[in-house]
Amino acid sequence: MNPLPEGWRPRRVLAVGAHPDDIEFGCGATLTRWAASGTEVVLLILTDGSKGTWEREIDLAGLVEQRRAEQRSAAATLGAAGVEFLDLVDGELEAGRGERAAVCEVIRRVQPDTVLGHDPWKRYRLHPDHRRAGELVVDAVVAARDPQFFPERGPAFRPERLLLFEAEDPDHIEDAGPGFDAKVAALLCHRSQWRSTLGIEAGTPPEAAQRNALVDRLRAEATTAADGHGFDLAEGFKRLEPL
C-alpha cells in the first residue's frame, strides 16, 4: 500500500453508517476538517433508526422523522454537502444481495474517491447492524467497481480507497483537532439519542456535567488514537488501497 502524500485529502467522500449518529462517532472530526478544506462529503445512513429509543410507547414513524431531521442537522454541522437514507429497518440490517445493490448504486452515482464505513473485522462488536453495515460497504465497493455486478444500477465506478472507522487495526491516522468541537456539536444534534447513547438526561440538573462527561470520553478516545502520531487528537482508520 502506497503512503499518501503529506497534506492529502480526498476530493469526494461517501461515508456509510448503520444508524443516524454512527458516522459522527466514527469520523465526524475528520469529515469536518476535510469539508472545511473543500472536500465534498456525502453521508449515507442505512437504517431508519426506529429502534433508537428506550420508550415502549412511542410513535415510531415520528421517531424516524425526528432522526432524519437530526441527521440532517448533524450533516450540516459537519459541513457535509448531502445526506441520503436507505431506510432499511433498524436492528434488522442484512448484507444481502438487495442491500448490496442499493449501496453499490449510491457509490456509482456519487463517485467518491474515498469511501468510509464501519470495520467489519472489528472483534466482539455487539450490534448486528454495525457488523452487517461493515460487510455491506466492503461488498458494495467490490460490486461498484466491476461492470458485471448489477449492470442495471449504473456504470461501474472504482473508488481509490476504503477507510474503515472503529478499526480493529488502524493504520491511517487523521488529525481530529480542528474538527473536534464540530464532532461534539454534530453528536448533540441527535437529541433523541441523548438518553440512550450519549448519556445525557435532558432538563435534569446534572445535564451540563453529563455533557462534559461525553466530551471527556470523546476527547480521551481521540487522545488515545493520536498517541505517537504527532497530533493532540486523532481518528484512526484501517485503509484498504488500491481497491
Residues of the shown chain interacting with Zn ion in the complex, contacts defined by CB under 5 A: 18-19, 22
Residues in the chain: 243
Closest approach of Zn ion to the CB of residue 209, in Å: 25
The cell for 169 is 487495526
Residues ≥6 apart with Cβ < 8 Å to 46? 16, 17, 18, 19, 86, 88, 93, 99, 103, 129, 133, 136
- CA 178 to CA 151: how far, in whole Å? 41
Partnered with residue 137 across adjacent β-strands are: none
- CA 136 to CA 155: how far, in whole Å? 19
Kindly tell me which of 153 and 190 has the beta carbon lying closer to Zn ion. 190
Closest approach of Zn ion to the CB of residue 97, in Å: 23
Closest approach of Zn ion to the CB of residue 182, in Å: 19
- For cell 465526524, name the residue: 28
Which among 82, 24, 18, 76 has a CA at the least distance from the CA of 50?
18
CB-nearest residue to Zn ion:
19
Pairing of strands 114-118, 161-165: parallel
